[in-house]
Structure 1
Amino acid sequence: MAFSPRPEPAPPDLRVGDYTVLARLGEGGMGVVHLARRPDGHRVALKVLRPHIVGDDEARSRLAREVSSLSRIRSRWVAEIVDADPWGEIPYVATRYVPGLSLHEHVAQEGPLDGDELAWFAQCLAEGLASVHDVGVLHRDVKPSNVLMEGRTPILIDFGLARVADDPRLTHTGWLLGTPGYLAPEILYGDDATAASDVHSWAATVAYAGTGRAPFGRGPAVAIMDRVRRGEHDLSALPDDVHDLVRAALDPDPRRRPSLGEIRDWLVEGPLPVAAASIDLDDRDDMGHTGDPYTLPLALASAADERTISLFDDGEPDPRDTRWLDDEAPPRVGLAERTRRTLLVVGLGLAAVTGLASHPWPALAVLAVLTWLLRGASLAGSAVDVRRSIRGSRWYDGPQLLLASPWHAVQAVPGALLLLLWSLGLGLACALICYAAQATEQVTLLASGAVVVVSLWVGPGGSRLRGPVSRLVEPLCRRFVPWLVVWVLVVGGALTLGVLAEERGTVWRPLGNPVNGLEQLR
């Protein structure tokens, strides 16, 4: 579960139990995670389970037993459970809030880890995983999106993901819960998970941290899982100090993988002969036997969707399943696309500024209406997201959105008025400064218009404008030709308005058309 770097605001006074929800951080197949505030003021990550996941007393009982086990985990490298209510009207689990990016997002923004940072990362992640194993729990879903970076320190989250052996809704023939590329090969063969399975996932995650790419590559999940089964990984870019350790931990045979204790000794004291070690799974402690009692469902809301892979009866993945996307980091937007987005937004702003300079009153009216409509649309979208986060998607979400739109339009009025008054006040102040500097009418209107447009974009409540505009702009900027057509039209219109303002002067209609209106005041 990875938190979004830009949390979405929640409606005011939204509560779950005794918690006040502040923002939605992420969503996954089994629930949603919110940033929430406890009654004592401390912030937590509140994971709300959807009704169709824990919709009966038996499921709630299993969740209560699981929470009881996981509540014993206390580690600085784990976002431990601080509160839970499996029997509430809305079942939830509250964990320590970690205000950091996931490993996926961290690597995408900062690049791979190396040197001492990578060794520190590997050691801390192993310590966190060991603390989970120490209370008799297997993590089962160690992957980059389930590791949050608190500065340089990794924090393990979403421990306790289960194969749900006693839940017939999730374990019917041919279903597998996990993430291609980070699942151990024995799980892909249908064997029960053990501590060695978590070691394999640990190694794949460390490999991603050190190279910036999944060790078993990308592509269809069937191809990734085949490479996992064969042990065909690419560790060529991994630094030498952890290369041999990760390679040993990725061994397809779980009996030849190092234990977590050997891994920690290796990282602290130096290499051990783990590659030649033979670990008899039958001699393992309670973490290795097939009757593992700690395999109950706690897949609690992940920003990166848990991958539930449908299999044919013959054990081969179904090629029709479009969810066979490997759990790579969200595609990083390239420099060219980011530049196109910026240029298009700037072009729209330039069109608004030149419109205010050439036809002030009509342009101001259009900006006011757009501000109101965009805020209303943003409020309506947020309301739908909140409803879906509580009770999941429904077929009537669309009609309900249409019926509720008038109310959201009314809700948008106060915020739109505040933002408009704020922007117009700053624009008027700029006009007075230009007047004192004896600037021309066109220069004054251009400067004031620029201040108004920028203030609308960054002013109080401006996120309600930026969000819808970004959703409109981003699809147009993915390919060069559509972007170029739109950008030429927008910038061409802006330049046309600017030329008209320069040659014909400002058109003040419908409220009169004075000649050089500001000059008359001098």
Structure 2
Amino acid sequence: MTTAPRRPLADHRDTVGGYDLLSLLGEGGMGRVHLARHRTSGEQVALKVLRTQFVGDQEGRQRLAREVSSLQRVRSRWVAGVVDADPWGQVPWLATRYVQGPTLHDKIVNDGPLARGKAEQLASDLAEGIADCHAVGVLHRDIKPANIILDHGTPILIDFGLARVTDDPKITVTGLLIGTPGYLPPEIAVGDPATPASDVHSWAAVVTYAATGRPPFGEGNPMKLMDRARRGDHDLEGVPQPLRGVLAQALSPDPADRPTLDELREWLRTPRKLFVHKPVEQLSLSDRAEREKATTPVAPVMPVAPAGPRSVGGLEKLRRAALWLALLAFAVGVIAAFPSTGFWVVLGAAWLIRAGTLAAGDLRRWRWYRGRKWHDAPRLLIGAPWRLVRSLPKTFVVGVWGFGFVVAAVLIGFALQLSLEATLGLSGLAFVLALWTGSGRDRLRDPVTSAVRRISVRWVPWILGFAVALTLALFPLQTVSEEGSQFSGGDEPWWVELLGW
């Protein structure tokens, strides 16, 4: 347990099972954890007391008994094992080895990411600890930085509140047990049973956090984090190679595509060695079965280049920048040239993109659950009107937000005595920025950013895409330069005359 500032005891009970409770170390979903000392031996332990609502409840006691049974089978220097327990006492409790030190989460928050050598050593030690658990059929299921104590730099796994024996049928029971979004494997998030490959996924997420100071799937809304995990949309920027390639494979959304723990341990013992992981299609039927169980190594270590994120060259960055500028010029130009309809064109495009993002998310979710089907496209088409309706409220809200920025821009243009065209251009820029940064922005930004990146990878699609965007941008810009802003009906609105343009 961590050496967090000691707090007063949460209840008036000074002794539990022959242990004197010294201070409250923390709280979890199942109970409170105290620093305690045995009255006879003087040994200090981390003692977990079942929450009050579980006392006297048969199911709660059975859960604790299963946890005790699991932990008593683990013997590892990298795991805070069980010292003593009484699941059926008047006050059910569990005592584990007390580890003094900060959690990995606190260490990274206070001191920043680990250096390369220390990150690789932590990855190796953590893999060994997980392997010791798997060797006796125990899964942790909640590996995260807050559940790792650093004892003079050595990671110690704590809090097996979600641990279960792999052959325990109760592992599939959902509703009560849940992990931590961002470190929770995607298969558990959708209700599938955990496997050793699930702990491999969490191992990779923790190592990424230790090496970069950032969770691999970002932070924020738990549903978004789980969606990114299901898509394999991770950020490994800053992780040195070849470790980055290994983590990318271990974070695969498909458990069968992840390296086994024994593969990882073998590679980590020789960290300068390159790593390859055979896809399922290249394995024999018997090896495929072993891969699905993720209990034995099935792919050899061979000297090939690791699969890591593709580096972006200077020319590609320039292509991206040029495409972004062309798209921005079109959005701002159409508002400056045709203000009566330009705002609605830009807002309508944002609406359609949001609806398309909903459709893409539905398609990913369907294929995640049941694979590709012939009726995916017809189903998307039939549901298109409903997705347009679903995206309409948020689009309306962000549109109102954007028009507030437009009013502010118009007042600024009037104060600076800008021309009507320049003021409308400033208003268009403000409107676009409001849409880009407003509520639900990810549904707009993610698909547009992804499209720009894909188009900019190669010259031919970029030339075509840039030519289209530039053509669309030049028409309203030319209209503004030659004819000025064009209002529908031909007459300038009252507010233009009021402000003196």
Give per-residue Cα distances to partners, 1:190-211, cap 9 Å, x unaligned: 2211000100000000000000
Q: What's 2:7 paired with?
A: 8
Structure 1 contact 207–215 (Cα < 8 Å) conserved: yes
Tell me if structure 2 keeps the 8 A contact 1:79–1:156. yes
For 1:26, the equivalent position in structure 2 comes to 26
Amino acid at match of 1:92: W
Task: Look up the match of 2:241.
Answer: 240
2:143 maps to which residue? Answer: 142
Structure 2 contact 48–94 (Cα < 8 Å) conserved: yes
Q: Equivalences for 1:224-263 in 2 at 5 Å? A: 224-263=225-264
Letter in 2 for 1:35: L
In structure 2, give the amino acid aligned to 1:37: R
Q: Which amino acid aligns with 1:30?
A: M
Q: CA deviation at 1:277?
A: 4.4
Between the aligned partners of 2:291 and 2:194, the Cα distance in structure 1 is: 13
* 1:216/1:227 contact within 8 Å kept: yes
Contact 1:200 1:250 in 2 (8 A): yes
1:8-35 deviations in Å (ceiling 9; x for gaps): 1448981111000000010122211000
The Cα RMSD (Å) is: 2.9
Give per-residue Cα distances to partners, 1:257-277, cap 9 Å, x unaligned.
111111111111243543334
> Which residue is equivalent to 1:368?
none
Q: How many residues align?
A: 288
> Would the aligned equivalents of 1:132 and 1:159 in 2 still touch at CA under 8 Å?
no
- Native 8 Å contact 2:267 2:275 kept in 1: no
CA distance in structure 2 between the partners assigned to 1:246 and 1:19 by the alignment: 42
**Corresponding residue of 1:171:** 174
Deviation (angstroms), 1:176: 6.3
- Preserved CA contact (<8 Å) 2:251 2:258: yes
Judged with a 3 Å threshold, the aligned counterparts in structure 2 of structure 1 residues 58 and 233 are, in CA distance, closer, same or farther, namely closer
SS at match of 2:54: coil
> 1:167 & 1:250 partners in 2: Cα distance?
22
1:8-87 correspondence runs (5 A)? 8-10=7-9, 14-39=14-39, 40-53=41-54, 55-87=56-88
Structure 1 residue 78 displacement after superposition: 0.5
CA contact (8 A) 1:165 1:171 kept: no
- Which has the bigger relative contact order, CA under 8 A and spacing at least 6? 1
Question: Please, what TM-score do these two structures have when normalized by structure 1?
Answer: 0.51
Contact 1:258 1:277 in 2 (8 A): no
Deviations 1:177-223 (CA, angstroms, capped at 9, x unpaired): 11111111222232211000100000000000000111100121111
Q: State the shift of 1:59 in Å.
A: 3.9
- Secondary structure class of the residue paired with 2:266: helix
Q: Assess if the C-alpha contact under 8 Å between 1:235 and 1:243 holds in 2.
A: yes
Q: Return the offset for 1:159.
A: 2.6
* Separation in 1, partners of 2:49, 2:213: 31
Query: Following superposition of structure 1 onto structure 2, how do residues 39-438 of structure 1 map, counting pairs within 5 Å?
Result: 39=39, 40-53=41-54, 55-159=56-160, 161-162=162-163, 166=170, 171-172=174-175, 177-270=178-271, 271-278=273-280, 282-283=289-290
* C-alpha separation in 2, matches of 1:167 and 1:215: 26
Structure holding more helix per residue: 2
Q: Equivalents in 1 of 2:189, 2:171: separation in Å?
A: 19
Q: Deviations over 1:448-499 (max 9, x none)?
A: xxxxxxxxxxxxxxxxxxxxxxxxxxxxxxxxxxxxxxxxxxxxxxxxxxxx
Change (3 A) 1:83 1:284: farther
Q: Is the 8 A contact 1:133 1:287 kept in 2?
A: no
Shift of 1:72: 1.9
Residues 191, 274 of structure 1: alpha-carbon distance in 2 compared, 3 angstrom cutoff: farther
Q: Give the structure-2-normalised TM-score.
A: 0.53
Distance 1:89 1:287 in 2: 40
Q: CA deviation at 1:237?
A: 1.1
Residue type matched to 1:8 in 2? R
Q: Aligned partners of 1:165 and 1:51: how far apart in 2? A: 26
SS in 2 for 1:84: strand
Query: What amino acid is the match of 1:275?
Result: H
CA–CA distance in 2 between the matches of 1:185 and 1:99? 32
Q: Which moved more, 1:271-280 or 1:100-109?
A: 271-280
Q: 1:249 to 1:224 in 2, by over 3 A?
A: same
Amino acid at match of 1:274: V
Q: How far apart in 2 are the matches of 1:282 and 1:167?
A: 20
Aligned-residue offset at 1:284 = 5.4
Which residues of structure 1 form unaligned runs of 5+? 290-313, 317-522
- Structure 2 residues without counterparts, runs of 5 or longer: 297-364, 369-501
